[in-house]
Structure formats: C-alpha cells, structure tokens
C-alpha cells in the first residue's frame, strides 16, 4: 500500500516520528510471518522540499503532488498548545495547499485511489486519537 505522510512547518516531531517508525517496523517484521501482508511504501511529502518541525528540525520530503498517488494520507498533528493557535494555522494562507490535499483525500478525489482516506494520527486534548475532520475553508 502506498502511504504518504504529510510533513509541514510546525509539525509535532513525535507524531511524525511515531508514524514513520511504526510503518518501518511493520515492514521489517513482515518477513517473519508465514504469510506476510504487502509492505507499506511510505513517502514523506511536504509543500516544499522540506519542512521545519515544531522543535526546529528539518525534514526532507518529496513534493506534495506525490501524495496524489497514495492509497492513504496520514497527517500528524501540529505542534501547538491551544485551539487559537490551531485555528490560526488552519485558516492561514500557508496551510491552503494542505487543506486542498486533505480535502481531496477525504473526498476520494486522489486520481489513482478512489477510496483514499485521510487519517489524523495524533492525540487531541479530548481523546487519545481522533479522525480527521473536514478542513475549514476547503
């Protein structure tokens, strides 16, 4: 399965690392099974050639358009501490390409994958994990 993991400026470092580590570990362990499932073809994508995490680390990534070939889009959490910061980021012009990509994944509009889905793999203050909700302003 082709998986795109979305990296963007301000991403929560541990959220990104956890997703990439879990998929890599699953690939490494699959050969120990009698009947291994298909592997995860993981690509980190970003609006530019790189993203700066919330802690300031640089993540090199493929172009955002690469995600259009994915079967699954994973969007780790933004490194913010309150709802006002989150809303400000989501409504910002710099988040527009992210909103469009997430909206196309949620609608199944990714060209090669009619049943693609976007998932949020980060804890929210109200729960340990939450599904992605439609992006404000599309």
What is the number of structural domains in the chain? 1
Q: What distance separates the 2 farthest-apart alpha carbons in the chain?
A: 49
134 in any annotated domain: no
Spatial separation of the C-alpha atoms in residues 134 and 56, rounded to whole Å: 28
* CATH code of the domain covering residue 44: 3.40.50.880
- In this predicted model, what pLDDT tens digit does every residue of 53-80 receive, in sequence order? 999 999 999 999 999 889 999 999 999 8
Spatial separation of the C-alpha atoms in residues 8 and 57, rounded to whole Å: 11
Does the pTM of the predicted model rise above 0.85?
no
The residue with greater pLDDT, 112 or 57, is: 57
Range of the domain at 100: 2-29+36-120
49 in any annotated domain: yes
22 in any annotated domain: yes
Q: Which residue has the tokens 């499932």?
A: 37
| Residue 110, pLDDT score | 55
Instruction: Please check whether residue 132 is in contact with residue 102, taking contact to mean a CB–CB distance below 8 angstroms.
Output: yes
| Residue 62: CB atoms within 10 Å | 14
126 in any annotated domain: no
């Amino acid at each position: 399965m082709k998986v795109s993991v979305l990296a963007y400026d301000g991403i929560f470092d541990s959220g990104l690392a956890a997703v990439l580590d879990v998929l890599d570990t699953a690939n490494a362990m699959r050969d120990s099974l009698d009947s291994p499932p298909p592997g995860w073809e993981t690509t980190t994508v970003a609006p530019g050639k790189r993203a700066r995490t919330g802690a300031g680390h640089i993540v090199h990534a493929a172009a955002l358009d690469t995600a259009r070939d994915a079967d699954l889009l994973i969007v780790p959490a933004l490194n913010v501490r309150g709802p006002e910061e989150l809303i400000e980021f989501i409504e910002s012009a710099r988040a527009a390409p992210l909103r469009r990509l997430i909206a196309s994944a949620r609608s199944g509009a990714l060209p090669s994958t009619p049943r693609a889905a976007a998932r949020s793999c980060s804890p929210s203050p109200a729960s340990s994990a939450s599904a992605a909700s439609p992006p404000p302003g599309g």
